[in-house]
Amino acid sequence: MEDYRGQISKLKALIKYHDYKYYVEAAPEISDYEYDQLLKELIQLETAHPECITPDSPTQRVSGQPLEEFTSVRHRAPMLSLDNTYSIDELKEFHQRVVRWLNKQTIEYVTELKIDGVGVSLKYENGVFVQGLTRGDGKVGDDITLNLRTIRTIPLQLNKPINLEVRGEVYMDKVRFEQVNQERINRNEPPFANTRNATAGSLHLLDPKIVAQRYLNVFIHSLGIAEKEIFKTQSETLKEFENLGLVVCPHYKLCQGIEEVIDYCQEWEEKKDKLRYDVDGMVIKINYLEEQKKLSFTAKSPRWAVAFKFTPEQATTVLKGIIVQVGRTGALTPVAMLEPIKLAGVTISRATLHNEDEIKRKDIRIGDKVIVERSGEVIPKVVGVVKSEERGKIFEFPKNCPVCGAEVYRPEGEARSFCTGVNCPAQLKRRIEFFASRGCMDIEGLGTSIVNQLVEKGFLQELSDIYWLKNYNETLKELEGWGEKSVDNLMNSIETSKNKSLDRLINALGIPHVGSQTARVLSDKFKTLQRLMTATQDELLEIEDVGPKVAGSIINFFNQPQTKKLISKLEKAGVNLGSLLPTHPMPYEGKEFVITGSLKNYTRGQAEELIRRLGGKPSSAVSKKTDLLIVGENPGSKLNKAKNLGIPQIPSKEFEAELRKYEEI
């Protein structure tokens, strides 16, 4: 009988083969059920023999634990952006520069589609995918390895055991984009503006399981770093990528001279809409890598490549009016109401105007003829005005929220204005969810679907109504999905939340620019919410973490009538508005803790909150001030640093056992 190691190896190879047939070639050879059975068998074997689990196993595509945050990592080779050209003349100018620099007339170019997605860098060691980064600022990117592992078109193991770093573009196809947006609309969330935004938003989610549900894809387009010079041309590079099992966009062409490049660009500009993914131009690269090396880079971009951007589709129509929408965050967005017009095969009657400054800068007036542009966006935009002698009516941005009438506030240095009403119906669902979230009042049972249901049934008409839900006890039990136990659990959680610490309440109020850290500082400084409400600008600016922008936001927030009414109702409900003096042991008083790796029974946020409540100070970086390093699974570089500094360490298992003694405080 074959040993389990051989079985695991065979299953991994078989699943990898079927992944490639299904996700890359779109030519599956087995049914979904048969595939699931193979994966199930592998999971069972790896569960029985965990020492055989490797990073390239198909079972490791989705991490079990959500991330707390992304780590910043420096690129080994910069990820520079390309210079853009917007016309054939500019493309010819690029070619003339190349001719002059290389001193030759005929230049070979590889012309590729410019995928409208998010740039990433993938690192392979001995053929195994070990790390993936975003572009970031070109020098430093976010480590999104766990999220990238969920993308089925990224092989976890190459067909050769080589060391390689490649660059590519992650994208969401058009069909999945429409599905994701419909799901968001169903949850009363704003839809993504375009496939690029949807992709970027997905890659920066902290829970890889949710990323996996977005069904992202990738095309690999260029080499970052190789262990040796194994390619001579860009066209060879793309073919070798395919041999390695990497997915390359099939639409590229080796062109002899700039005229062939121009023809290929114009060909794709006409038929780009037939693709299943969005493209916004073409990328033109010198084919020979030796010539690329000779031309080198400017500070911002390579001299040997350029992007040719397709012309956005535009039309002219009449601006009939402007309405102002209030989003779930309270942001006010002006929307143009247009005389309906056909654009890119779609009838357009609305377009975004972005913000107040954009309207003024472009001098857009009601009744004007305006130029509307649609370039892959769900909501088109007004890009300019057709000036005439007879101008329309100047639009005045509202000083009060069009939904609830509260004062509109524009933070210093920001282009957007916000409704200040804490009970604004447009923001109510989001505010309740945030108020009840784990890092705030921690009311278990008030998730998205329940909040939607309670708001739509009229049980929650403003934030403070949470503490009067007990009046609907019997009615709630009769609702679909509810029962006596679930109602009792919710009521108990609401009652418990009344005694949360002041910093949690300050954070839960959702004061613009005030997060959990600033909330803790404010709680320590002012001790009670009433005292914070009367704090002056000077008093606030004395605090190290508070600058003019944050101070202004705090003062403005507590000056609003809706805020004062909310605080009064919370006090009446019995919610703690002052600092709670500890009535329990403080074993970690004055000690600084750092956590590395993942914990089994706590998120990092939960553990850090318990440390604070026990008198300790959690920190994100190891230093000489660190008193103890908590070592979880897959620890990072913090462990080596702690060892070098002689800082004591404790396994997370022991530390979690210690924390459980104090969970109920």
Instruction: Look up residue 344 and give its two tokens.
Output: 């890119």
Q: Where are the alpha helices (DSSP H) in 473-603?
A: 473-477, 484-497, 502-508, 516-526, 529-533, 537-541, 548-559, 561-573
Instruction: Look up residue 434 and give its two tokens.
Output: 């945030």
Mean pLDDT taken over the chain: 86
The pLDDT, as a whole number, for residue 222 is 94
The pLDDT, as a whole number, for residue 581 is 47
Which of 263, 307, 313, 292 minimizes the C-alpha distance to 112? 307
Q: Where are the alpha helices (DSSP H) in 107-229?
A: 145-148, 174-186, 195-203, 208-212
Three-state DSSP at 418 gives strand
Pairing of strands 369-374, 381-386: antiparallel
What does each C-alpha distance from 167 to 109, 222, 289 come to in angstroms?
19, 5, 16
Mean pLDDT by 10 residues, the chain (665 residues): 75 80 64 71 82 78 59 87 88 94 92 94 94 88 91 92 94 91 79 81 87 93 84 93 94 95 94 89 95 87 92 86 87 92 78 88 91 71 83 90 92 84 90 90 90 91 94 88 90 93 92 86 90 93 87 92 94 85 64 87 78 79 89 85 90 82 59
Helical (H) or strand (E) element with 239: helix 234-244
Cα–Cα distance measured from residue 172 to residue 198, given in angstroms and rounded to the nearest whole number: 7
Q: What pLDDT, in 10s, does the model give residues 309-327?
A: 887 778 899 999 999 999 8
* Contacts for 664 with CB less than 8 Å, ≥ 6 apart: none
The pLDDT, as a whole number, for residue 121 is 95
Cα–Cα distance measured from residue 229 to residue 246, given in angstroms and rounded to the nearest whole number: 18
8 A C-beta contact, residue 615 and residue 582: yes
- Percent helix, strand, coil in the chain, to 5, is 40, 20, 40
What are the residue numbers of the active site? 114
The pLDDT, as a whole number, for residue 23 is 58
Instruction: Look up residue 359 and give its two tokens.
Output: 């309207």
Q: How many CB atoms lie within 10 A of CB 100?
A: 9
pTM over 0.85: no
The pLDDT, as a whole number, for residue 225 is 87
Pairing of strands 118-125, 128-134: antiparallel
